[in-house]
Amino acid sequence: MRLICWEILTSEEMLSDKLICETTPVDDQCFLLSFITGHYFGPDINLRRPEKSALQRVKEGLPPYSHSQLAGSQMKTTELERIYYYIVREADPSVVVSLHSLRQFLQGHFQTSNQVLKSAYPQFPDLFPPRLHPHALSDSQQKVIENVVFINSPDISFIKPEDIKRFKKLTGLESLALSRDEARHYTCATGTGSNGGSEQESTAKEEPPSVILHRPKKTRHINDLTDSDHLDPLCPKCKGPFAGMTCAPVGPSVTDMENRPDQELIPAMVYLPSQPTIEELENIVAATRSGFALTGSAAKARVGATVGRMDIGECNDSYLFRASLPGVKRDEREFSCEVESDGKVLIRGVTTTGEKTVSRHSQVFQMKTQNLCPPGHFSILFQLPGPVNPEHFSGKFCIDGIFEGMIKKAKQ
């Protein structure tokens, strides 16, 4: 990346705001990385409320903290990455670093050829010393950073007005205050933003098909399929009847298929424009290998993964919700349900279905279809109709795969 018009300055001048004659993309990248990690994150210190960011502690001249003062919490590295990309989602791509570069910054290895930038903008280990905030693996083998807390609405009273102005100009944000849940669960991008909203919204407004044909392996006729932006289950721009569901890619484009006719497709959905006759439906299914069709009430269900389907009920003083969680581990060490006072509910867990091979009684089965939710960690976030009292929450995970929770409404 080209650098523009650097000045050679004395050590005193290097500390001034006239460091660079003209701002470059490299400088903007370093500025945003340090600004975001320095102002939106801080050490998780016991009994310290409100939390202070790393740069706020430096500005206020607070004494160093010891390991015994830390809360012992863990933040997933992926959560910190999501927050960064959430903040820069509207920024020009030239000031947004790749995921690889972001991880280098978190390790203190972000590469820049200019020594002035290295001294002007601290990297993550400079703000959070590794001996107090080590990078580790959690019990579930996920990468975490210890004793770091997310501050979604940082104190701006000590930040230079010109730095705030520059941050807003680069990110396109009008305020430094963020939505905690949207930032922590942002999944629309890994450095590319979340463009294409109009196409996504128009796609989401389509009616569910009357017949669903699942084609797990090969497709003989795919000319009716077109490329489109795929919806994201946590993207705020996904609306309409498909809102909240996982919308996976249907496979390679038509052009790719013509170039690779012998390649197999990933599982795909074929949407039929009209109700077929029985004979037409039989011919469609016959053209597949291990394919099947749904008709009647099964075809009227919403398209998408079965994990996370939700029903919510209400009475005079309580709310009741039921979540469909087939194939989810019921082990309390890997399953949790958190309810906040404003009615937000977050369910986390691990699915065990969707494997390519299944072992039963010393036999190994190669799965011909994989229509159940794939194995791995998941989270479900939804909102109850009103505020609640989290202290009066009870939940049970039944053996039929339904998680049921009941919670008292907050007193008015």
Q: Provide the 10 A C-beta neighbour count for residue 46.
A: 11
Residue located via tokens 């994201």: 232
Distances (CA, A) of 345 to 155, 222, 341, 381, 390: 27, 40, 9, 6, 10
Local confidence band at 145 (pLDDT 50, 70, 90 cut-offs): very high
How many residues does the structure list for the chain?
412
Q: What is the pLDDT of residue 219?
A: 35
What pLDDT, on a 0 to 100 scale, did the predictor assign at position 79?
92
| Residue 255 pLDDT exceeds 50 | no
CATH number assigned to the domain covering 310-409: 2.60.40.790
Within 156-257, strands assigned E span 212-215
Asked if residue 111 has pLDDT above 60, the reply is yes
Q: Provide the CA 247 distance to its chain's centre, in angstroms.
A: 14
Check pLDDT > 80 for residue 405: yes
Whole-angstrom Cα distance, residue 127 to residue 117? 16
Q: Tell me the percentage of the chain whose pLDDT exceeds 90.
A: 30
d(CA 81, CA 411): 37
In the chain, what are the domain boundaries?
11-184, 197-300, 310-409
Give dist(CA 146, CA 76) in Å, integer.
9
Residue 318 banded pLDDT, cuts 50, 70, 90: very high
Q: What is the mean pLDDT of residues 367-386?
A: 83
Lowest mean pLDDT among 114-128, 242-256, 280-294, 330-344: 242-256
Measured between its terminal Cα atoms, the distance across the chain in Å is 58
Whole-angstrom distance, CA of residue 213 vs CA of residue 303? 11
Q: Which is more confidently placed, 363 or 20?
A: 363
**Token pair listed for 156:** 């701006």
Q: What integer is the mean pLDDT of 278-305?
A: 64
- Per-residue burial over 181-193, b if 16 or more Cβ lie within 10 Å, else e, is bbbbbbebbebeb
User: What pLDDT does residue 307 have?
Assistant: 76
In this structure, what token pair is assigned to residue 328?
């989810």
Half-sphere exposure of 24 (CA within 13 A, CB side): 14
What does the alpha-carbon distance between residue 390 and residue 341 come to, in Å, rounded to a whole number? 6
Q: What's the mean pLDDT in 372-378?
A: 83
